[in-house]
Amino acid sequence: MSDIWQGPLEKIDNWHWRIPKSYKSGMRVPGVIFADERLLKDIRQDKAPEQVANVAFLPGIMKYSLAMPDIHWGYGFPIGGVAATDVKDGGVISPGGVGFDINCGVRLLKTNFQYDEIREKIKDLVYVLFSDIPSGVGSKGEIKVSQKEEREILVKGARWAVQKGYGIEDDLECTEEYGAMSGADPYAVSERAYERGKAQSGTLGSGNHFLEIQAIDQLYDRQICEQLGLRLGLITIMIHSGSRGLGYQVCDDNVKGMIRCLDKYHINVPDRQLACAPLESPEGRQYLAAMKCAANYAWANRQCLMHLTRRSFERVFNESWQSMGMYLIYDVAHNIAKIERHIIDGKEMTLCVHRKGATRAFAPGHPALPERYKQIGQPVIIPGDMGRNSYLLVGTQKAMQETFGSTCHGAGRLKSRSAALRSININQLMRELEERNIFVKASGRGTIVEEAPAAYKDVNDVVDVVANAGIAKRVCRMRPLGVIKG
C-alpha cells in the first residue's frame, strides 16, 4: 500500500488547494492548503493533509482548517497548521494546535557591520557564541533564578529580563505581544514544569533551535529596508529557541487532562491527539493560562539569549553592542494560541487563533503593532535550513482576510530526524557547508545531520508560495555564514 496521501485535493488556483468538507463525515469546514504543484508532491508524502482534515472536526472552527506550504506531520495538528475557533459559541482550544515547544519562535537583530568587515572574524564569533550560550539537550544557563523569580518570569516575560539589565525598553516594543501575554497564571503550572524550567533561562536547547550569523544577499522592498536600516551585505543575527522543558511539560500535563474532556463535553474528533476543551470551560481556561506562562518564559529566554549574543560580540570586537548597532528588528512566536478580533463575513468576532508552526502576519495599521511598524506591517521572520536562505517579510491585508493574519514559519521538514541520520553522510555534509563558506558548531555531530539542508524543503520555494499568494510581502533575504546548534 502506498504511503502517499490519496485524499481529494481540489485546485482553487496556483497557490490554494481545497480538501472538501465532504471528504470525511464530521468535518465542519473544508481544509485549505497553501502550496504550488512542486511542493504538493512533498506534502502528500507524509499524510499531513489528513491532519488538516481532522482539525476541521473541532467544535467552533471558523471558515476552514488551514495549512501553510511548510506543512508536515505533527502531533494532532500538522506543523504549519492554522485554525480559528469562535470563543463565544463553544469554540475549543487544543494543546495539539499549539505544540509541545510553546512559543518556539525567532528574533532577528541587525548590526552596523558589512560582510567584508567581519568575514575573517566569523569563526571567532561562532566559537565565542558557542562557548557563551549553553546549547544541547538539558543544557543549563548561567542565569539562575529562584522559584519566586521564575513565577515573575511567567507573568512578566521579556520585561523581567529587561528589568534585570538583559536588554532595553526598545526590545519589548520590537517583540510580539511586547514580550508578554496578559492573563498568565503561574499557579496553573505544575511543579514538574517549574523544575524543568528553573535552570534553562538563556539556553538555546537542541533539535532545530539555532543561532545564526547571516548577511543580507537580496533586497526586495528597498523602501522598507531603508526604514529598517537594512542594506545589501549587512550582517544580521537570527535566534531560534522556545520555552524549553517548561513549555514541553505544560503541554504534556494538559494533553493528558484534556483527553477526558472529549467525553465530558461530548466532543467528537478522529484523533485523540486533538484533545481539546471549550475555551470557556475550567479546563480550557486552565490550559490557556498555563500556555501563556510558557509563552512568556520563551520570550524571556530569547531576550536573555539576545543579551548573551550582544555580550559575545562585545568580547570579540571590544565595542559596546549599541555602537555595533545590534538592535532588534522583531521577535515572532510560532507555536501559540491567541485570542484575537477578526472580521468574518463582514462581522467582527472574537476568535482563538491556533498557530502551530505558523507566524502571525498582521497588516499595516493593525492596533496590535507598535507605532514604528504601523505603516509597513508586522515584520515576519522565516528561517530556512543552515545551508540556505532565511527571509524577512511583512504582514499584509490579504493575510488578515484569508489566514486570520498568519503565514508560514520556516522551510518545513522533508525527512524525519531518524531518516536524516540514516541517509546523510556527516563528512560529506560538512564539506558541502565549508564549500559554501558556512561554519557550523554543534554539541553533537548527530544534530548537524538531523538538521542538514537535505532534511528540509527549500525555503525559497516555500516563501515563493506565501509571497505569490499575498499572505506576506518579501523585504530582504539573508544567507548563513556561521551557525551554532544544540
Q: What is the mean pLDDT of residues 302-307?
A: 95
Do 415 and 74 touch, CB atoms closer than 8 A? no
- Alpha carbons 235 and 334: distance in angstroms, whole number: 24
Do 332 and 105 touch, CB atoms closer than 8 A? yes
pLDDT at residue 102 greater than cutoff 80: yes
Provide Rg for the chain, Cα atoms: 21
Q: What is the mean pLDDT of residues 279-303?
A: 96
pLDDT computed for residue 141 by the predictor: 63
Bridge partner list, 246: none
Do 401 and 387 touch, CB atoms closer than 8 A? no
Do 385 and 452 touch, CB atoms closer than 8 A? yes
Is residue 200 very low, low, confident or very high in pLDDT (cuts 50, 70, 90)?
confident
- Alpha carbons 200 and 142: distance in angstroms, whole number: 9
- Give the closest residue to 9 by CA, choosing from 62, 53, 46, 70: 53
pLDDT at residue 465 greater than cutoff 90: yes
pLDDT tens digits, 319-375: 999 999 999 999 999 999 999 999 999 999 999 999 999 999 999 999 999 999 999
pLDDT computed for residue 256 by the predictor: 84
Catalytic positions, please?
A: 409
- Ordered by start, the domain boundaries in the chain are 10-485
Do 63 and 97 touch, CB atoms closer than 8 A? no
For residue 2, the tally of other CB atoms under 10 A from its CB is 7
Is residue 150 very low, low, confident or very high in pLDDT (cuts 50, 70, 90)?
confident
Give the lowest-confidence range in 92-106, 189-203, 357-371, 431-445. 189-203
CA distances to 137, 250, 314, 433 from 246, rounded to whole Å, are 13, 6, 30, 33
pLDDT at residue 245 greater than cutoff 50: yes
pLDDT computed for residue 1 by the predictor: 35
State the cell numbers at 469. 499568494
Give the lowest-confidence range in 69-83, 219-233, 421-435, 466-480. 421-435
pLDDT computed for residue 280 by the predictor: 95
pLDDT computed for residue 139 by the predictor: 57
pLDDT computed for residue 417 by the predictor: 87
- Alpha carbons 248 and 325: distance in angstroms, whole number: 34
Would you say the pTM of this structure is higher than 0.75?
yes
In the chain, DSSP finds a helix count (H) and a strand count (E) of 16, 19
Q: Which residues contact 464 (CB under 8 A, 6 or more apart)?
A: 36
pLDDT at residue 136 greater than cutoff 60: no
pLDDT tens digits, 16-43: 999 999 999 999 999 999 999 999 999 9
Is residue 228 very low, low, confident or very high in pLDDT (cuts 50, 70, 90)?
very high
State the cell numbers at 437. 563558506
Q: What is the mean pLDDT of residues 445-469?
A: 93
pLDDT at residue 178 greater than cutoff 90: yes
Give the lowest-confidence range in 121-125, 431-435, 437-441, 442-446. 442-446
pLDDT at residue 137 greater than cutoff 60: no
Bridge partner list, 399: none
pLDDT computed for residue 142 by the predictor: 65
> What's the mean per-residue pLDDT of the chain?
94
What CATH number belongs to 10-485?
Answer: 3.90.1860.10
Q: Which helix (H) or strand (E) holds 477?
A: strand 473-485
pLDDT at residue 405 greater than cutoff 60: yes
pLDDT computed for residue 3 by the predictor: 73
In the block, cell 542594506 appears at: 231
pLDDT computed for residue 146 by the predictor: 74
